[in-house]
Amino acid sequence: MKYQFALVWLVVIVVVLIDAFLLWRWKKSKGFKSPASRLFALSFFGLLPLVASIGFIYLGLRMPQTDGAQIYRDFGWFLFLFLLVYLSKFLFTGFHGLQLALNRLWSKREEKVHHYPRMSRRKFLSQVGIVMATAPFVSLLFGAFKGRYAFYTRHLTLSFPNLPAGFDGLRIAQISDLHIGSFGDRRAPLKEAIALINAEQPDLLLFTGDLVNNFAAEVRGWESVFAPLKAPMGKYAILGNHDYGNYSRWPSESKKAANFRGITDGYRRLGFQLLRNEGLVLSRNGDRIGLAGVENWGTASFPQTGDEQLAARGLEEQGFRILLSHDPDHWDHKIRPQGIFDLTLSGHTHGMQFGIEKGDFRWSPAQYVQKRWAGLYQEGKQFLYVNRGLGYHGLPARVGMPPEITIIKLRRGPLGSEVM
């Protein structure tokens, strides 16, 4: 994680503003006159924001210097506790601010006759604020203790007229963004995920990057967990932006290079063949297709070492080609305009680990960051699928965006898709 100090200071300013407002409102209430109420207010609106601010500043200084994954887990739980408190505070502050604005716009009117008990606008908004403030609290608790391990298998069928007959019915399992260091020593969740993958009996397993958070040591001890993973036509993977060790300040380039070699070797030890700007030919029932994978290519500060043209070399004779590229931005910027690949598989976004997907309605903060943030996209004869990730990073929770195993069935026929 590349820690931006501008964001740290923005968080600190927001915290101070929220607590200053709530402390001011508390002081205007009748309860503030008691010693117990004053002690609560000073603790909840004074001491708590101080601890939060110091914590963010400390982690902002510490994380770039770290040489282990523990600090990332510590940051994740610190962020979880912060959001648990401050999302509720933020909503409560919003409703109180709305209440003040309405009070200024509308003067109070006294009713001469009351035939039934009447709730004031002020009390109504206060009650709504309390109810709304509990929603993120409950959602985050669920997301941390249940949602992040609620593995969900998504099935889709894609048909292509140029798919060789020998590959009709091919079953592909796609996983992405394990961030294996986030699991610590908890082996059971990924054992469950691997059992779910094996139950689907995929012919081919494709992993679209981000095995680790930053360090090669994160992979140590996971070999036996991944050993049962089966795919008779092979298990292939690419590197994600976190697999380069770019989220720490290394004492030397040789240390960073050694860490990178350890990460690439970690893929091998878990049973995956890495594709680094290269392709290969897959054979099935006497027919062939091309499979290629690129190094990470991303916008903003992410590495742009992916080369789809280099990866496609040697695949010119194959009438159907699949590409693995970690960041879906690559599809719009480079892959789609060239029209080399029929199907591209990506990950990276995690669906921001938060969102709502109900029928045709889909919303996530991820959509304000990336154009293609989750699920299936089609432009002309080309498809892109963005996996929501199997692991988690940063916040140890998933709310409305469960960890995903994707099963893609390829069919020979008119161009089309069916998402189940």
- 226-277: pLDDT as tens digits: 999 999 999 999 999 999 999 888 999 999 999 999 999 999 999 999 999 9
What pLDDT is stored for residue 110 in this prediction? 47
125 pLDDT higher than 60 = no
pLDDT value of residue 274: 98
Q: What is the total residue count of the chain?
A: 420
Strand pairing category for 416-419 and 152-160: antiparallel
Q: Using the predicted structure, report yes or no on whether residue 200 has a pLDDT greater than 90.
A: yes
Out of 78-92, 178-192, 248-262, 391-405, least confident range: 78-92
Q: What rounded mean pLDDT belongs to the chain?
A: 88
The pLDDT assigned to 83 comes to 87
Task: Record the tokens describing residue 406, joined without a space.
Answer: 């994707």
- Is beta strand 356-358 parallel, antiparallel or unpaired with respect to 404-412? unpaired
Higher pLDDT, 16 or 271: 271
Helix residue spans in 106-252 (DSSP H): 121-145, 188-199, 223-226
Categorize the per-residue pLDDT at 25 as very low, low, confident or very high, splitting at 50, 70 and 90.
Answer: confident
Assigned CATH for 148-419: 3.60.21
What tokens does 86 get? 């401050």
Distance CA 68, CA 35 (A): 45
CA distances from 76 to 20, 82, 232, 238, 302 (A): 26, 10, 37, 25, 21
The 10s digit of each residue's pLDDT in 307-358 is: 999 999 999 999 999 999 999 999 999 999 999 999 999 999 999 999 999 9
Nearest to 125 by CA among 98, 150, 87, 152: 98
Is pLDDT of 397 > 60? yes
3-state secondary structure of 337: helix
Q: For 98-184, where are the E strands, in sequence order?
A: 152-160, 171-175
pLDDT digits (tens, 9 = 90+) for 35-66: 777 777 778 778 888 888 888 888 877 777 77
Q: Which residues contact 165 (CB under 8 A, 6 or more apart)?
A: 285, 287, 412
d(CA 136, CA 149): 19
d(CA 190, CA 226): 9
Of 11 and 130, the one with more pLDDT: 11
What pTM does this model have? 0.87
| Alpha helices (runs of H) in 210-343, residue ranges in sequence order | 223-226, 253-269, 308-312, 329-330, 336-338
Given phi > 0 = left and psi -120 to 50 = alpha, else beta, which region is 360? alpha
| Confidence category of residue 1, pLDDT binned at 50, 70, 90 | very low
Model confidence at 123: pLDDT above 60? no
Q: Is 49 exposed, middle or buried (0-12, 13-18, 19+ CB in 10 A)?
A: buried
Helix, strand, or coil (residue 278)? strand
Determine the average pLDDT of the residues in 139-156: 94
The one-letter amino acid code at 312 reads: A
Q: Average the pLDDT over 5-31 and give the result.
A: 74
Strands (E), 161-237: 171-175, 204-207, 235-237
SS (H, E, C) 292-325: EECCCECCCCCCECCCHHHHHCCCCCCCCEEEEC
Separation of first and last alpha carbons in the chain: 34
Burial of 54 (0-12, 13-18, 19+ CB in 10 A): exposed
Three-state DSSP class for residue 351: helix
- Res 106: pLDDT: 61
DSSP state of 47: I
User: Which residue, among 281, 286, 371, has the nearest Cα to 333 in the 3D structure?
Assistant: 371
Where along the chain do its domains lie?
A: 5-106+117-145, 148-419
